[in-house]
Amino acid sequence: MTEALPPLSFDDTPVRLVDALSLIARSYKPATAVEESPVNSAGWRILADDVVAPISVPPADNSALDGYAFRHADLSEGGRGATRLDVVGTSAAGHPYPYAIRSGEAVRIFTGAVMPAGSDTVAAQEETDIRGRSVTIPGGLRAGENRRVAGEDIAAGSVTLSAGERLGPAAIGLLASLGLGTVATRLPLRVAVFSTGDELCDGVAALRPGAIYDSNRPVLLAMLAGLHIGTTDLGILPDDRETIRARLGDAARDHDAVICTAGMSVGDEDHVKAAVAGLGGLDFWSVAIKPGRPVAVGHIADTPFFGLPGNPVAMVVTFAMIVRPALLRLAGAKPQEPRRFPVTADFSMSRRPGKREFLRCTLHDDGSRLLARRFARNGAGILSSVAGSEGLLELAETMVDIAPGMTLPFIPFSALGL
């Protein structure tokens, strides 16, 4: 859900990207219910509550390798000299040695087996000398060597995972290691997806004169799948205001968010913005970002609405930089800025200031640094500039001239789920 906020200005001045993201951060809250999910099937769900460890992992001190457990205090010359000890038993994984070790004794131990009471150090099997029922421990071992202490992975009572974390494979393993059968997670977000425009054709249909195949909707559906968000593909909307109004209203009643591509400019056939304003409201519809100025954020009744540009590259960039963080907040995920890495520009260009610009770039290594090379064709409609690049080079609003050797922030597509 969203909290009602005063809308930003609707004059022709675009909203700064930082202000658009600030409004999203203030107003978007988790929109889905919480349920108990079996841990074994909770992969990629978003954690609803903190997980406090009911036990320590490991629950007891254990051996890091196959060898012999003993008391370090029994070693001769303070541990510097070799020492012969009596082997009095065995500790195997799941079958601990049941007695406490006494002075002068050692226990054969296997990887993962519980350390016998009284022992504190393990000598690796290949470093010892076995003769009958005695073992020679070499000098030079530190106290506690090759011993895993109880709780060194997870301490009982600690917050193991925090609300808002995505449960990837390692997180699922942590939950399983705590003996948890279920975990509180958010239900997946449900998003309705439209394209708009009489010129659009689905890929399964023959291309009409004057038409183009719709690439935006398939790209958008794939980006949403990468966020593990449930989608409903509602097809292509015609350039008819009443039809758009009716279908957007129906979609908003059954989904947690609605996303539409194209129809957000000010042309005579761009009806989406007006339809949304009539059904609910728009917080903003123009952002000082390149590519992607005509991007809208608002609501249809109480359902968040996102309107993306029709140009495919602009659609990808505005989804990644504006809609993605909004959807993650609605899904209950922790807010997380995409990680930026410093790289060195390997090109020159001049630009008009005033917009935050994202250039599609590839990286190459000159032996001492990563160089960013601009994709040869950078138009907002050239989708191959995304497919052929590795990420986005970010240019601040005030930048005018970019020269080779300048250090600039680079966002890899992997950090954006692309």
Q: Is the pLDDT of residue 10 over 50?
A: no
Instruction: Give the model confidence (pLDDT) of 181-208 as tens digits.
Output: 999 999 999 999 999 988 888 877 788 8
Q: CA-CA distance, 321 to 211, in Å (whole number)?
A: 29
pLDDT at residue number 12: 59
CATH architecture of 17-32+188-330: 3-Layer(aba) Sandwich (3.40)
Tell me how far apart the terminal alpha carbons of the chain are, to the nearest angstrom.
26
- Say if domain 62-148 classifies as CATH 2.170.190.11: yes
pLDDT at residue number 9: 41
Residues 131-166: b if buried by 16+ CB within 10 A, e if exposed: eeeebbbeeebeeebbbbebbeebeeeeebbebbbb
Q: CA-CA distance, 45 to 183, in Å (whole number)?
A: 10
Q: CA-CA distance, 134 to 148, in Å (whole number)?
A: 24
Instruction: Give the model confidence (pLDDT) of 14-60 as tens digits.
Output: 899 999 999 999 999 999 999 999 999 999 999 999 999 999 999 99
Q: CA-CA distance, 244 to 256, in Å (whole number)?
A: 18
Q: CA-CA distance, 87 to 297, in Å (whole number)?
A: 73
The residue extents of the domains of the chain are: 17-32+188-330, 44-56+154-186, 62-148, 341-416
- The larger pLDDT score, comparing residue 134 to residue 335, is at 134
Pick from 59, 56, 177: nearest CA to 115? 59
Query: Which residues, at least 6 apart from 401, have a Cβ–Cβ distance to it below 8 Å?
Result: 348, 349, 350, 351
pLDDT grade, residue 1 (50/70/90)? very low
Which stretch of 28-42, 219-233, 251-265 has the lowest confidence by average pLDDT?
251-265
Instruction: Give the model confidence (pLDDT) of 364-384 as tens digits.
Output: 998 889 999 999 877 777 888
- State the sign of the Cα–Cα–Cα–Cα dihedral 199, 204, 205, 207: positive
Please, what CATH class does the domain formed by 341-416 belong to? mainly beta
User: Rounded to whole angstroms, what are the CA distances from 277 to 162, 281, 303, 332, 388?
Assistant: 37, 4, 13, 26, 37
CATH of the domain spanning 44-56+154-186: 3.90.105.10
Q: Is the pLDDT of residue 7 over 70?
A: no
pLDDT grade, residue 77 (50/70/90)? confident
